[in-house]
Amino acid sequence: MADYEVDYSEVTGRLVSCPEQCGMCCLCQPEVPPEERPFFKKNYPQFLVRTKGPQPYSALALKKGCGSCVFLENRRCKVYDHRTAYCRQFPYHIYASDRVKVELDLSCRGAWEGKGNDALTEAKELIKAADSRITEAIAEAKEVYREFYANCKEAGVYQDPSMLRMTVSENVSMFTDLAYLSRIMDMSQIEPIMALAGTRPETQLDMESLEEAGKDLAMDSMSSNDPLSVPVYCDKDWNWNMFMAQNGRIEWMVMDDDGNLIHKAFADATDIKLKVPDSEGVKVLTDYVNTLNQRDSFLGSVFSMMDQNGYEDDMTNAYFGSMAVTVMDLLWRMSMLDHFMGTGVGAEGVREAIIFYDMDRLDAPAIGAFV
């Protein structure tokens, strides 16, 4: 029996399909672990490569170095029965902290269709298959978390994470309202230890500052000339949309199945005005905030930021502030998609923004480990 706790709450009761027209997960360059390399070395040695960066690893080649996996043909995998463990896991993410949490990548359109395989059953099978990797990862992650909590207590910034989550859950409407989001972001920067209880909304919104807050985060994520490093949005017509920002200007492109980038449009970031969801959109946004609030990886990303900042901020401020900033990033992306594609600000518009955003959210640096 595995000596670790697994939280399946995010995937319980959900169905997940793999739309045959999609192939978005094949834009992510998969690592090939040692036990899987012999098959590719024997049959496709030319497609087994080493990635660039400070920690290179063995991976499958991409078309033209930045497109989809070389084994993707007509949006189907040519080596499906031999696909890597990381390919098999998508859209599930296994996060190791002081426990294991299975999280669902909501950038996968198959997670929204309400049909397909039982997510809980699939997640349990993946956990079983990844047991040895999980056992190794969680041993390291537990030590990292132990040290992090000790540092927080020594610095006087520790709070009970479960209480922070409960507070967000009880006040979730604040995180879908610009007037409250503005106040929360200000309080997180000014007050020694902020509190949501008794918080009043801003009566005179500084829309220019709010637009800057959302825009700066989104633009930063798009500020690269490398297609592997910018957000990808698979739209409802199964196009792989990419957005690249430079000098305050955004270029919208579509990547084709051969790895070519096709220009679609330009827009000045200042022309994209921050919009707010309508009542139906707020319902979808509320569900997403509740999902983030229960994700161990989101908590781990807040902890990573606290560590990088030298434990200067109380955990309360860091957590509430990060949640507010995350929503602002999402709302600006929603506004950008509406500007380019007319996706709107209703339930569909917010859902499309989440599909555009969630993979990046799950890729944020965290003190734990994705297995």
Q: Tell me how crowded residue 269 is: count the other CB atoms within 10 A of its CB.
A: 20
For residues 298 and 106, the answer to whether their CB atoms sit within 8 Å is: no
List C-alpha distances in Å: 63 to 45, 55, 185, 262, 313.
15, 22, 42, 15, 44
For residue 136, the SS3 value is helix
State the alpha helices, DSSP H only, in the chain: 37-43, 85-89, 119-129, 131-155, 161-170, 178-190, 207-222, 279-294, 296-308, 315-341, 347-362
Give the pLDDT of residue 1. Answer: 55
- Per-residue pLDDT at 54: 80
Residues 283, 284, 289, CA angle at the centre, nearest 5°?
95
Q: What is the DSSP annotation of 69-105?
A: BTTEETTEETTGGG--HHHHHTTEEEEESSSEEEEE-
* Rounded distance between C-alpha atoms, residue 168 and residue 163, angstroms: 9
Residue 53's pLDDT is: 77
Residues 314-358 pLDDT 10s: 999 999 999 999 999 999 999 999 999 999 999 999 999 999 999
Q: What are phi and psi of 239, to 5 degrees?
A: -80, 140
What pLDDT score does 209 carry? 87
Burial class (CB in 10 A: 0-12, 13-18, 19+), 150: exposed
For residues 11 and 348, give the distance between their C-alpha atoms in angstroms, rounded to a whole number. 21
What is the rounded CA–CA span in Å between residue 306 and residue 364?
14
**What would the DSSP string read from start to end of 295-306?**
-HHHHHHHHHHH
Pairing type for strands 76-77 and 72-73 reads antiparallel
Q: Alpha-carbon torsion 348, 350, 356, 358, what sign?
A: negative
Cβ 104 vs Cβ 12: under 8 Å: no
Contact (Cβ atoms closer than 8 angstroms) between residue 243 and residue 336: yes
CB distance 137 to 371 below 8 Å: yes
Q: Helix, strand, or coil here: 246?
A: strand
List, for the chain, all residue ranges whose pLDDT scores fall below the cut of 70: 1
Residue 118, strand partner residues: 15
Task: Report the pLDDT value the prediction gives residue 95, as an integer from 0 to 100.
Answer: 98
Provide φ and ψ at 202, rounded to 5°: -65, 135
